[in-house]
Amino acid sequence: MSEFTASETPESIAPPPAGFSFENVKRNAAISASGTTGAYTQAKAMKTGTTIVGTIFKGGVVLGADTRATGDTTVCDKNCEKIHYMAPNIYCCGAGTAADTEKTTELIASQLELLRMSTKTQSRIVTACTLLKRMLFRYQGHVSAALVLGGCDINGPHVYQIYPHGSTGKLPYTTMGSGSLAAMSVFESEWKEDMTEDEAKGLVERAITAGIFNDLGSGSNCDTCVIRMDGSIQMNRGALKENPVEPLRDAIKRSDRFNFPRGTTAVLSTEFVAHKTKGLSLDDVDVVTMDTN
Amino acid sequence: MASLHLNAATTAPSQHTKYPIVTGTSVLGLRYDGGVMVAADTLCSYGSMAKYKDARRIRTVGPATLLGASGEYSDFQSIMDMLEGMEQQNDNFDDGHSTDAQQTHSYLRAVMYQRRSKMNPLWNDLVVAGPNFLGLVDKIGTTYTDNFIATGFGSYLAIPILRKKWRPTMSEGEARGLLEDCLKVLFYRDCRALNRIQIAKVTEEGGAVVSEPYEIETDWSAASFATTKGGLEGDGGW
């Protein structure tokens, strides 16, 4: 370590040379390579921070999610989709690393489709849960996907929670993500058995809103997805938009120097050419009857 | 005869608090129309053991101040000794003055920050309440005042509820109901919470009063938890 500690005393610090300084690159590489526990590791940009919830009601399941994707402390995506399709009767909310939740749910969705083709039966939620947990356990938590799986099948409405290391829980209601405590406080105050669809949707919206406004990792809009026992789905992207960005954009006053009226640049001539679409159309082809003798 | 020398240097035990041992969990406070209310459960945990189920974590300081503490219980007792000493000095002076909540808050801030600066903190998050005052002082000397306060797990589970449901015109009954609701949620979801609670209030007319501990009702009977649907074994997890 001695070659990396400053040898100058405070009184004799020389002014740094001009231009970029790469003196820490060698040090950082050496520390990372030295393998000491608790050593400096480069911060990885990944999405953490989410509020996702799921609850059963009398006649189906309602899933909810916020729409903020973060990379460390920056909002990468103000309106991302966290409720993923798994099967016609199964949807899955994902928290954790965005790529992991997206690809994991896609993979299991494709496995479920192949299974439906070979069994000619509707997918069951327990099947999706088992496929997900077996994959996640195999990766020992390195696939950072925390999921709320919900849907309706022959056995009724189901909600499962799945953790990155592969453990699962089957519950009437659950929340995951950094905003899960804020959302759970709403659920624990207001959840009841056998809610109607409207009561359940309202409860889910209030829970996600609690996450959006009380957790810094969650924000923007609330998406909900209702999966009913009769097989119908209602995907509400932007069910609740309490953080609209349009009023903020409209409030920006742009200088009139950038509002160039037509004709500021002199038009010398005009030519209109119809857009040629990709591939051939009948106009490009001379129709000739085939000789079928 | 050779004399016995202790070659290894004997080190004195650490005189700096590094971690708490006997701890209390969340304390909640809220302003209502007529005064301020503070609530907490009566549990002090010894790590993961629920050791002291009748711990008094809210106390009166002088005639009109409430102090609620989460964190290390012995540090709370030490702070109470300090403040009770100051109260006694006030009484001895007998000039009709006593320290009010705002002054206690400022004094505690100085004490907590000084201890933090010596790397030997009093490991507490304190809620100070007076007839028209509600503030927090934490173990590193951070202070703020607000219409409702929560420490520990309460910041995650109770603050969202308080932000939604609090009104400046709440009556005493409504304030108490709201605090009990928050403490119920905390009992459901905080592993170090208990359903035996105390509520304290401080008002202009009545001064500072702390209730006797009582149990709050909790509901674990939801059928969906007790019976699994679809005839599937267990909770779907293993």
Residue B238 lies in a domain: no
Cβ–Cβ under 8 Å, residues B195 and B123: no
Average pLDDT for B206-210: 96
The answer to whether residue B31 is domain-embedded is: yes
d(CA A149, CA A170): 10
Predicted confidence (pLDDT) at residue B110 exceeds the cutoff of 70: yes
> Residue B230: its chain A contacts at CB < 8 A?
155-156, 158
Distances (CA, A) of A285 to A110, A281, B31: 41, 7, 81
Give the per-residue pLDDT at A212. Answer: 97
CB B60 within 8 A of CB B18: no
Decide if B230 is inside a domain.
no
With respect to residue B10, please indicate whether it lies within any of the assigned structural domains: no
Between A160, A185, A193, which is nearest B157 by CB? A185
**Distance, CA of A129 to CA of B155 (rounded, Å):** 33
Q: Which residues of B touch A208 (CB under 8 A)?
A: none
pLDDT at A27: 80
Task: Indicate the DSSP class of residue A11.
Answer: G
Per-residue pLDDT at B159 exceeds 70 = yes
Beta bridge partners of residue A169, listed in sequence order? A161
Residue carrying structure tokens 């002088």: B62
User: Binning pLDDT at 50, 70 and 90, where does residue B131 land?
Assistant: very high
Between CA B49 and CA B192 the distance in angstroms is 9
Model confidence pTM above 0.90: no
CATH number of the domain residue B131 falls in? 3.60.20.10
Partner-chain contact B237 A169, CB within 8 Å:
yes
Q: With beta carbons less than 8 A apart as the criterion, state whether A132 and A148 touch.
A: no
- Average pLDDT of each block of 10 consecutive residues along chain A (293 residues)? 54 64 75 65 61 97 96 91 97 95 96 97 96 94 95 95 95 96 97 96 98 96 97 96 91 83 89 79 80 87
Amino acid type, A146: A
- In this complex, the residue of B185, B225, B235 whose CB is nearest that of residue A189 is B185
**Catalytic: B17?**
yes
CA distance B31 to chain A (A): 20
Q: Is B47 exposed, middle or buried (0-12, 13-18, 19+ CB in 10 A)?
A: exposed
CB–CB of A207/A53 below 8 Å? Answer: yes
Dist CA A186 CA A228 (whole Å):
23
State the Cα–Cα distance between residues B31 and B150, nearest whole angstrom: 12
Residue A65 has a pLDDT of 98
Question: Is B146 part of any domain?
Answer: yes
* Chain B nearest CA to A73, separation (Å): 19
Q: Are A115 and A121 in contact (CB under 8 A)?
A: no
Whole-angstrom distance, CA of residue B177 vs CA of residue B31? 13
Residue A45, pLDDT score: 46
B219 inside domain: no
Tokens of A83: 């409720």
pLDDT value for A57: 97
Evaluate whether B75 touches B89 at the Cβ level (below 8 Å): no
Confidence check: pLDDT of B103 > 80 = yes
Query: Is B2 a member of any domain?
Result: no
CA closest to A159 among chain B residues: B236
pLDDT of residue A1: 46
Percentage of residues in chain B with pLDDT exceeding 70? 92
Name the residue facing B236 among A157, A169, A210 (closest C-beta).
A169
Give me the pLDDT at residue A256, please: 78
Structural domain count of chain B? 1
- Asked if the Cβ–Cβ distance from B222 to A169 is below 8 Å, we say no
Q: How far is B164 from chain A (nearest CA, A)?
A: 8
B174 located within any domain:
yes
What average pLDDT score do residues B214-226 get?
Answer: 86
- The answer, yes or no, to whether residue B150 has pLDDT greater than 80, is yes
What are the chain B neighbours of A157 within 8 Å (beta carbons)? 229
In three-state form (DSSP H/G/I as H, E/B as E, the rest C), the secondary structure along chain B is CCCCCCCCCCCCCCCCCCCCCEEECCEEEEEECCEEEEEEECCEEECCEEEECCCCCEEECCCCCEEEEEEEHHHHHHHHHHHHHHHHHHHHHCCCCCCCHHHHHHHHHHHHHHHHHCCCCCCEEEEEEECCEEEEECCCCCEEECCEEECCCHHHHHHHHHHHHCCCCCCHHHHHHHHHHHHHHHHHHCCCCCCEEEEEEEECCCEEEECCCEECCCCCCCHHHHCCHHHCCCCCCC
Following DSSP, what letter does each residue of A50-94 receive, concatenated?
--EEEEEETTEEEEEEE--EEETTEEEESS---EEEEETTEEEEE
Q: Which stretches of chain A are DSSP H helices? A: 23-34, 98-119, 125-138, 180-190, 197-214, 246-250
Task: Mark yes or no for CB contact A160/B236 under 8 Å.
Answer: yes
Chain B residue numbers with beta carbons less than 8 Å from the beta carbon of A126 are: 232, 236
Average pLDDT, chain B: 92
Instruction: Judge contact between B123 and B18, C-beta under 8 A.
Output: no
- Smallest CA–CA distance, residue B197 to chain A, in Å, is 18
Per the DSSP assignment, residues forming a β-bridge with A6 are none
The per-residue pLDDT for A84 is 97
Q: What ipTM score was computed for the predicted complex, to two decimals?
A: 0.85
Residue B223 confidence class, pLDDT cut points 50, 70, 90: confident
Query: What is the domain range of residue B62?
Result: 18-210
**Sign of the alpha-carbon dihedral angle for B171, B177, B181, B183:** positive
